[in-house]
Amino acid sequence: MTDLHAPPEARPPAAARSFLPRRLGRWLVRRWRWLTSMRTAVVLLFLLALAAVPGSLFPQRSLTPSAVSRYFRENPELAPVLDTLWVFDVFSSPWFSAVYLLLFISLIGCLVPRCIEHLRASRADPPAVPRHLHRLPVHAAQEVSMPAEAVAEQLESDLRAARFRVVRRNTETDVEISAERGRVKETGNLVFHLSLLALLVSLASGKMWGYEGSILVTEGDGFCNSFQRYDRYVAGPLVDQSSLTPLCFDLQDFRATYELNGTPASFTADIGVQDRPGAPTRQTTIGVNDPFRSEGDRLYVTGHGFTPLFTVTLADGTIFEQLAAPFLPRDSTTFASEGVVKLPDLGDGSGDGVALEGFFAPTGLVQGGVLTSVDARPLNPQVAVIGYRGYLGLDAGDPQSVFSLDQTLIDQGRLGRIGEANLSVGQTATFEDGTVVRFDGFREFASLQVSHDPGQVAVLISAITMLLGLLVALLVPRERVFARITGPQLAGSGGGRLTTVSLAGLARGGSGDVQERLDAVLANLPAYEPAKPRAADDRNAVSTP
């Protein structure tokens, strides 16, 4: 910082004080021009597409958290390294957001000057005729036996019929014509890039004001839109509880169909929906590619599974009926599933609870005392359960998975095993402490996703206009035709008066169409043909009065 109170001889010269700001300013201008160039925008667009590739190759937490968990189990060493690189959260990663933001800035800085220039050019006349037409890639010349004004009228009429914008300029010696068409080609190019910019803005608005959540709902149960009810949700930074739409629905029936090899083919769910409190319930059916839509919300079916049902009878005769909890599929081919049913309060004042850790097999087969599943269809449902009794830790205030037990409590002996059994539907097992467990059957659950994206309509419109702009930019030709008409002048051998027509043309993307255009224009003009000499007898004949 310059000391203003220092004597003049101690201060740095003005040139030295202004050198650094000027150099910094020039550097910023160069960087800004580089960032806002079309080449940089294309590179950033390529990098954005390249950055999205891991999102297609690896499971994403926002879409399939169970697949991410399975990847961690199958790759315990590689998965943590990939997780530090945001591979499982690609579209919310810092590096993806940085490329996205740079592309956004680059497009704005590139398109604004181009749009202003295009507006100016659209109001301007076609450019003046070049001085040397023969230097253009496509040119032609012809002499015609017509006055210059008549030739100009004919050329202008032909070019206007071909939808050219035509301007005629008269000079002292010549008549010049400038014609242009296909300026809409540049308009289509700008529409394409502006639509791309609008698409990025729409996607960003969807991330800022949108949300999506997943929930498992068993047949006969319902759900109302609330963050507390979701198993997992992702919301934009500008979304709060009051922003959620008051959507409620009941899962009345769920149906899954299977291929001959047992692979699930389709899922459909019958639901009753209330768009808002007090509204009548509407009955509808949704599927994987057939969501329910209401006020910007979309309700998808993303998967399914099974919820086993148990009846637990304690040693003192207390009965708990229809105990149920969804079991998560661990094998997508056989739908072998695992889960836990927790009964935290037995009502005896001891504070102990009972838990059933189970393995459900839709089509069960016991081999060597071990239950496995051999088919995804529920042809022979069986369950293997391990009973626990003791402190479940549900009142400790620490987060705990509803699909598994806290292994720490088991290791500490606060939760002890009381028995195990393999059960078919209707079978019972008695554990060591007198607890009786009966397997009553199962119900199916649907894995549902609620998605709210306020920018989805804008994304659709932007995509359509992008396509239209691209078609216009690719299919509409851009041509310019220049003509200089000189004459009339004396013809040497014929004794007539001739007009010289010089034509030249330019085309974006090739010159074949312009050559055809010039040939067609010249073909409409009457070419000069020298007069033929008369025969000798005619020249020597004497006329008779």
Q: Is 247:294 a contact under the CB 8 Å cutoff? A: yes
**Predicted confidence band at 361 (pLDDT cuts at 50, 70, 90)?**
very high
Length of the chain, please? 545
No. of helices (H) and no. of strands (E), the chain: 12, 23
pLDDT tens sequence across 519-539: 888 888 776 444 444 444 444
At which residue do the structure tokens 């269809």 appear? Answer: 377
What are the tens digits of pLDDT across the range 225-244? 888 888 888 888 888 888 88
Q: How many CB atoms neighbour CB 39 within 10 A?
A: 10
Q: How far apart are CA 243 and CA 237, in angstroms?
A: 11
Task: Quote the pLDDT of residue 296.
Answer: 77
pLDDT in tens, 107-139: 888 888 889 988 888 888 888 999 888 888 888
Residue in 253, 137, 252 with CA at minimum distance from that of residue 505: 137
For 18, counting Cβ atoms within 10 Å of its Cβ (0-12 exposed, 13-18 middle, 19+ buried), the class is exposed
| Dist. CA 493–CA 531, nearest whole Å | 8
Q: What is the pLDDT of residues 146-160, one digit of tens each?
A: 888 888 898 999 899
Q: Are 79 and 89 in contact (CB under 8 A)?
A: no
Sequential DSSP letters for 168-186: EEE-SSEEEEEEEE-THHH
Instruction: List, in order, residues 6 or more apart from 84 with CB less than 8 Å away.
Output: none
DSSP code of 90?
A: G
Residue 337 has pLDDT above 90, yes or no: yes
**Is residue 540 pLDDT above 50, yes or no?**
no
Decide if pLDDT at 327 tops 90: yes
Of 91-105, 127-141, 160-174, 390-404, which gets the smallest average pLDDT?
390-404
Amino acid residing at 1:
M
- Does the pLDDT of residue 75 top 70, yes or no? yes
pLDDT tens, position by position, 396-430? 666 667 788 888 888 888 888 999 999 999 999 99
User: Cβ-count burial of 35 within 10 angstroms (0-12 exposed, 13-18 middle, 19+ buried)?
Assistant: middle
Peptide bond into 65 cis (omega under 30): no
Q: Which two tokens stand for residue 299?
A: 């309700």
Q: How confident is the model at residue 250 (pLDDT cuts 50, 70, 90)?
A: very high
Percent of the chain clearing pLDDT 90 (strictly above) = 24
* Paired strand residues for 371: 366
Give me the mean pLDDT over the 30-53 stretch. 86
118 Cβ partners below 8 Å, 6+ apart? 186, 187, 190
**Per residue in 276-322, pLDDT tens?**
777 888 899 998 888 898 877 889 898 889 999 999 998 888 899 98
